[in-house]
Amino acid sequence: MSQRPIPPRPGPGAARGRLDEILRVDHAGELAAVFIYRGQRAVFARANDKGRITGQLEQMEAHEAEHLAAFNERLTEARVRPTLFAPLWRAAGFALGAGTALMGEKAAHACTEAVESVIEAHYADQVAELAEREPLLAADLSRFREEELAHHDLAVEEGAREAPGYPLLAAVIRAGCRTAIKISEKI
């Protein structure tokens, strides 16, 4: 479910304040994504017959690490502090990744599908909001969104929606992502 783009706030510094929120929340999301995949790989790497999914997770983690590096650079350039919740998001991401991997491959893919469905919509809203004001950032977000959609589609192809308890699992993960987004924008 996509929300309407958030218009720039009135007043001096409002656009800058909104840009700070966007950079902070997107950095937090990519940080958590890296740790979700690390948690999943930590579980699957211990099994001899999980080479295929481990390879898929490595590739997706590499995309997320690239996105994270881009946001690290943008945060530094813009002198924006990361979310104060970064340590929690690292731990929560790893725990979510490891927990869903322990439930099996389909649950790990369900995690990816749920997370990426929220993130791609989040990025789509930001692209619409920033297209005229910050075209270079909007272009990066559009590219990142395409990669997130590819992760989503792979997860669906690999049976994400066949995971035990999929509707509940996906709903809880999506709600957690939306909550983390709201927190990370502000704090």
Helix (H/G/I), strand (E/B), else coil: 51: helix
Distance from C-alpha of 104 to C-alpha of 114, rounded to nearest angstrom: 15
* pLDDT (tens place) for every residue of the chain, 187 residues total: 556 665 555 555 556 778 888 899 899 999 999 999 999 999 988 888 887 888 888 888 898 999 899 999 998 988 998 988 889 899 999 999 999 999 999 999 999 999 999 988 889 888 988 888 888 999 999 999 998 999 899 899 999 999 999 999 999 999 998 998 888 878 8
Tokens of 46: 């211990």
Helix (H/G/I), strand (E/B), else coil: 131: coil
Whether the Cβ atoms of residue 104 and residue 160 lie closer than 8 Å to each other: no
**Helices vs strands, H then E, count in the chain:** 6, 0
Residue located via tokens 């590219």 = 143
Q: What is the largest CA-CA distance in the chain?
A: 59
By the 10 Å C-beta count (0-12 exposed, 13-18 middle, 19+ buried), 110 is classed as: buried
